[in-house]
Amino acid sequence: MTIEMSWWGDDNRAALFAEVIDKFEAENPDITVKQTPVGAPDDLFNRLATDFGGGGQTAPDVFALGGAKPQEYGSAGALLDLGTVADIVQADKYPDFSTTAATVDGTLYGLPTGGNATAAFVNVDLFEAAGVPVPDASWSWDDLIEAANTIGKAGLTTASGAPVYGLDLRIQDIIGTYAAQQTETGIYDFDGKLAVDADDIAGLYEKEVELQKGGGLPDPSIITAGWALPPDQQLYTLGQAAVTFGYSNLIGTYGAAGETLILPPPTDGDTAGVALLPSAFWAINANTKHPEASAKLVDWFLNEPAAAELIKDTRGLPFNPDTLAVVTPLLDAPGQAAAEYVQGVLDSGVVAPPQPDGGANMNKYSQDAETEVLFGRQSPQEAAETWVKNLSSDLD
């Protein structure tokens, strides 16, 4: 029998997946896999829209989905209920919070390729140079503010003479985690509405004001210019900041700045608010003529040690703990640190609802509010109320 598999990515990924498929076919000689890689996610999504618009018979048997697509296609009945092949794909290996975005009304329609989690990155060298104790996983927001302000006022510079700041902050990288510290689910609830109120969001902007007044942040113009910078151009990577927030897979890039420690973000409560964010999901066409063969292929990519040894963390760190245990020893030192961090999140992370329709402007609204606060045009409370008003309107 022949089944078709499609994904997006560059030529290197296509070559890697071809090698994985070769091993699969060697173990399953009755199954031939037709490979149809595409360059960009939209290339695949456009094809799927056409195929499923015509009934789905021409769509691939197995394909990658990202963002809200598992919810969209699952709700439309286009995806196979993985409960029907649960034993083959080993769905029970995956923590509930790693599959939330692919679950509709209790039915699982996709399994994550892997993913990453929001983390704090600490430049140990800069902390030591400023005489500030290096934090650990128990740190609070007050600990961060005190440390960042002390380092920002220490007069440190890089080898080229550039100033060193306490915190390199991009509001969009931490606001969801901060919200989850307040609500345990994050910005949204499971009904697609806001789970936070203006007081919750104002708390984060109030902390930013403390950092601004205390010397822990760069000038607001530098902060706003840094929103869209790639990781290798950010202040932290250039050795100009002692702390930043980002995804765990960035530890290799951020490590260029010096000895880097990966920690949960600071918190004032019992939860760090961290959720694992899948890179993509493997899903199966509901119209496939070969559901068991398709399920075997998904299982091979996600759970087979021989495949894991090839794929490693190229699609995010595996969420199946058994697969993660295979991959971790094969990673370099920064990758192993990220894997250890992700394992901790697997054990204790929050369950974050998927981004609902209408949530696309959340980052923009967060940046707009930050601009108003940092340039002194609005108080944190005023900016947060505008944020809630705008996002609530979009969700409605």
Cα–chain-centroid distance for residue 88?
27
Q: What one-character-per-residue DSSP string does 128-190 give?
A: HHTT-PPP-TT--HHHHHHHHHHHHTTT-B-TT--B-EEEE--GGGTHHHHHHHHHSS-SB-T
CA atoms of 284 and 296, how far apart (whole Å): 11
Numbered ranges of CATH 3.40.190.10 in the chain: 2-113+278-345, 117-274+355-395
2-113+278-345: which CATH architecture?
3-Layer(aba) Sandwich (3.40)
- Which residues partner with 7 through β-bridges? none
Q: What are the angstrom distances between the C-alpha of 203 and each of 131, 230, 274?
A: 28, 27, 18
Q: What letter does residue 271 receive in the DSSP assignment? A: -
CA atoms of 112 and 230, how far apart (whole Å): 25
Give per-residue pLDDT as tens, 11-41: 999 999 999 999 999 999 999 999 999 998 9
CB atoms < 10 A from the CB of 219, how many? 11
Tokens of 70: 């598992």
Residue 184 class from Cβ within 10 Å (0-12 exposed, 13-18 middle, 19+ buried)?
Answer: middle
CA atoms of 393 and 387, how far apart (whole Å): 10
- What percentage of the chain carries pLDDT values higher than 70? 99
CA atoms of 215 and 225, how far apart (whole Å): 18
Say how many Å lie between the first and final Cα of the chain, rounded. Answer: 47
**Secondary structure (3-state) at 76:** coil
pLDDT band at 349 (very low <50, low <70, confident <90, very high): low
pTM passes above 0.85? no
Give per-residue pLDDT as tens, 63-78: 999 877 998 899 999 9
Give per-residue pLDDT as tens, 158-201: 999 999 999 999 999 999 999 999 998 899 998 889 999 999 99
Helix axis angle, 141-152 to 198-214, nearest 10°: 30
pLDDT at 64: 98
CB 123 within 8 A of CB 96: no
CATH superfamily of 117-274+355-395: Periplasmic binding protein-like II (3.40.190.10)
Q: 2-6 and 32-35: which strand pairing? A: parallel
